[in-house]
């Protein structure tokens, strides 16, 4: 039976349209925030997608923007204001994990019971400073699994799972599950997210959204960090339109002072090229596990339909086999994730002058902590060397193919409870992630782009027989983020935006 649709939000367009609506005088920034808060209050009992609300902080930023708008004396001045601040007045939830969007006055719990009501930040992140300059109005934080370590957002710290707006019995994905649920519900037009092993693309697939993982080094992480999880992580947004995805990338991108490395800068006129469809791309299709094992048949069918749509746009799509084994890719990624988790937990222990206890974190997180403690420095460096080997391998692939097309997930969105991190059958981190019934069978494709640093985007390719979203993922060579956005824009223009849970007409 089809679950009932969520209530319709006050504004059904994307973030770009909302900013234009506010700048044109359709409502004030404070009114937009109030209406979004009301929408959020209506869906939050179902979704459980909010970790922290600070409406007073949002009102402070919105009031300042309204003051700027009131000072404009002509339509030309208001247009110039929107040009400077392309997301003028758009309410924004920040993910509860990650230093890039550190914001004083908006603490983070990291999806964990460790920090109580939240960890206060000593400085604002460079990325959030750019988001504020672009006109965003941050007013809270969205939910994440503990320390961002899961593909389903079911953190004990929030008192229950975050639910999928398409069907509340299913996962909204992770680790940016709260961001996806809020955006797909319509309560917000856009939400901040980050990605260390698929954490933007997994929830995008699960909730029928657009999720781009940018190239390594394209987005700033400082000043509080140089990189996350050994360079696996990066920040961006979950969006309902390609133009929002692109515009948000351009306002946030660019290495900040002291960054350990930087991706090639985006061209100044890059947004204009979205209207120039790429021609005749060579796209390699992998619609099974790397070893050839089948994915869920509905996922395979959706990705093949997506491939046919790309062919209809003039591209060449050919089946390929990568000379990779799934577990060979995922194992070093999971070691780096565990090591980064241990560094964070050791920092918490040092700050409070008391060791972390097994009863303070979820069992799989505790096991990851112990796994990292068992590793040597050489083990970690060997994992990093594997990342470099994958980068060389995929660079050779991209000499023959412009893009790689795979499913985003190997199955439709999982039922809640399947990936909770205190599973009775096993609290062993390696078994939980890489065992015979491990999480890798659900998300085998996303971590490769994190290991190589390449950009990858999940697009809503279809729905399952029960109405759950299914995503297709395109990956490009390092630094070719704009190519992914151009292809995505071309596909979206031809096939239209995906439906939202409050408007379920089948447009695929």
pLDDT in tens, 424-472: 545 899 999 999 999 999 999 999 999 999 999 999 999 999 999 999 9
Asked whether residue 257 carries a pLDDT value surpassing 60, the answer given is yes
pLDDT at 347: 94
Quote the crossing angle between the two packed helices 326-352 and 363-373, to the nearest 10°: 90
- What is the average pLDDT across 263-274? 94
CA-nearest of 352, 340, 86 to 231 is 340
pLDDT of residue 44: 98
**pLDDT computed for residue 425 by the predictor:** 46
Q: What does the alpha-carbon distance between residue 360 and residue 354 come to, in Å, rounded to a whole number?
A: 12
What's the CA gap between 243 and 248, in Å, rounded? 8
Strand partners, 316: 282
Whether the Cβ atoms of residue 137 and residue 29 lie closer than 8 Å to each other: yes
Q: What ranges do the domains of the chain cover?
A: 15-257+278-492
**Please, is 75 exposed, middle or buried when counting C-beta atoms within 10 Å of its C-beta (0-12, 13-18, 19+)?**
exposed
The alpha helices in 272-325, defined as continuous H runs, are 297-312
Beta strands in 96-241 (DSSP E): 137-142, 163-164, 167-171, 190-195, 210-213, 234-239
pLDDT tens digit sequence for 39-78: 999 999 999 999 999 999 999 999 999 999 999 999 999 9
**Whether the Cβ atoms of residue 227 and residue 258 lie closer than 8 Å to each other:** no
Measured between its terminal Cα atoms, the distance across the chain in Å is 20
* Tokens found for residue 307: 């491939």
Provide the whole-model pTM. Answer: 0.97
Distance CA(315)–CA(105), nearest Å, equals 48
What is the C-alpha separation between 137 and 228, in angstroms, rounded? 25
- Residues 271-296 have a mean pLDDT of 96
CB distance 270 to 304 below 8 Å: no
Q: What is the mean pLDDT of the segment spanning 128-153?
A: 98
Residue 136's nearest CA partner among 64, 78, 203 is 64
- Report the candidate in 186, 265, 279 with the shortest Cα–Cα distance to residue 219: 265
The pLDDT value given to residue 1: 55
Distance between CA atoms of 472 and 451, rounded to whole angstroms?
Answer: 19
- Residues 456-476 as b/e (b if ≥16 CB within 10 A, e otherwise) read bbbbbbbbbeebbbbbbbbbb
Over residues 75-94, the pLDDT tens digits come to: 999 999 999 999 999 999 99
CA distance 148 to 175: 5
Asked whether residue 507 carries a pLDDT value surpassing 70, the answer given is: no
Residue % of the chain over a pLDDT of 70? 97
Higher pLDDT, 431 or 5: 431
**pLDDT per residue as tens digits for the range 313-340:** 999 999 999 999 999 999 999 999 999 9
- Residue 335 is predicted with a pLDDT of 98
Q: Which CATH architecture has domain 15-257+278-492?
A: Alpha-Beta Complex (3.90)
Pairing of strands 210-213, 316-319: unpaired
Asked whether residue 506 carries a pLDDT value surpassing 60, the answer given is no
Under DSSP, the state recorded for 226 is S
pLDDT, mean over the chain = 96
Task: Name 456's Cβ contacts closer than 8 Å, sequence gap at least 6.
Answer: 201, 212, 213, 446, 449, 473, 474, 475, 476, 484
How is residue 357 annotated by DSSP? P
The confidence band for 6, taking pLDDT boundaries of 50, 70 and 90, is confident
Calculate mean pLDDT across residues 356-383.
96
3-state secondary structure at position 169? strand
Residue 35, pLDDT above cutoff 80: yes
pLDDT value, residue 397: 98
Is the model's pLDDT at 423 over the cut of 70?
A: no
């Amino acid at each position: 039976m089809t679950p009932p649709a969520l209530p319709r939000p006050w504004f059904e367009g994307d973030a770009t349209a909302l900013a234009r609506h506010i700048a044109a005088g359709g409502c004030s920034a404070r009114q937009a925030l109030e209406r979004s808060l009301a929408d959020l209050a209506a869906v939050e009992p179902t979704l459980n997608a909010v970790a922290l609300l600070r409406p007073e902080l949002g009102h402070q930023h919105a009031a300042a923007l309204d003051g700027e708008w009131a000072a404009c004396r002509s339509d030309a001045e208001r247009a110039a204001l929107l040009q400077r601040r392309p997301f003028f007045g758009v309410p924004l939830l920040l993910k509860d994990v990650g230093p890039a969007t550190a914001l004083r006055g908006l603490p983070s719990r990291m999806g964990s019971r460790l920090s109580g009501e939240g960890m206060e930040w000593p400085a604002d992140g460079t990325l959030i400073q750019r988001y504020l300059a672009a006109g965003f109005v941050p007013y809270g934080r969205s939910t994440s699994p503990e320390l961002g370590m899961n593909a389903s957002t079911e953190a004990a710290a929030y008192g229950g799972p975050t639910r999928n707006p398409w069907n509340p019995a299913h996962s909204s994905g992770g680790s940016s599950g709260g961001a996806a649920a809020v955006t797909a519900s319509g309560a917000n037009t856009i939400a901040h997210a980050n990605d260390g092993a698929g954490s933007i693309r997994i929830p995008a697939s699960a909730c029928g959204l657009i999720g781009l993982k940018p190239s390594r080094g394209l987005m700033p992480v400082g000043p509080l960090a140089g990189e996350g999880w050994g360079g696996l992580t990066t920040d961006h947004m979950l969006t309902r339109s390609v133009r929002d995805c692109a515009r948000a990338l351009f306002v946030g991108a660019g290495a900040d002072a002291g960054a350990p490395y930087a991706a090639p800068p985006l061209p100044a006129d890059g947004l204009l090229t979205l209207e120039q469809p790429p021609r005749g791309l060579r796209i390699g299709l992998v619609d099974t596990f790397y070893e050839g094992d089948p994915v869920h048949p509905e996922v395979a069918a959706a990705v093949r339909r997506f491939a046919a749509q790309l062919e209809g746009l003039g591209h060449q799509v050919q089946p390929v086999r990568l000379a990779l084994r799934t577990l060979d890719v995922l194992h070093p990624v999971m070691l780096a994730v565990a090591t980064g988790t241990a560094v964070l937990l050791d920092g918490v222990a040092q700050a409070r002058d008391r060791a972390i206890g097994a009863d303070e974190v979820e069992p799989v997180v505790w096991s990851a902590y112990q796994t990292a403690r068992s590793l040597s420095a050489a083990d970690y460096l060997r994992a990093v060397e594997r990342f470099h080997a994958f980068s060389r391998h995929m660079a050779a692939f991209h000499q023959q193919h412009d893009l790689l097309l795979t499913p985003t997930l190997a199955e439709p969105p999982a039922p809640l409870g399947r990936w909770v991190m205190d599973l009775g059958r096993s609290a062993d981190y390696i078994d939980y992630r890489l065992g015979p019934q491990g999480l890798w069978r659900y998300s085998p494709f996303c971590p490769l782009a994190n290991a190589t640093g390449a950009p990858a985007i999940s697009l809503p390719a279809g729905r399952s027989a029960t109405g759950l979203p299914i995503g297709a993922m395109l990956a490009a060579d390092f630094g070719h983020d704009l190519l992914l956005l151009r292809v995505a824009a071309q596909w979206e223009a031809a096939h239209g935006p995906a439906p939202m849970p409050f408007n379920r007409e089948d447009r695929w």
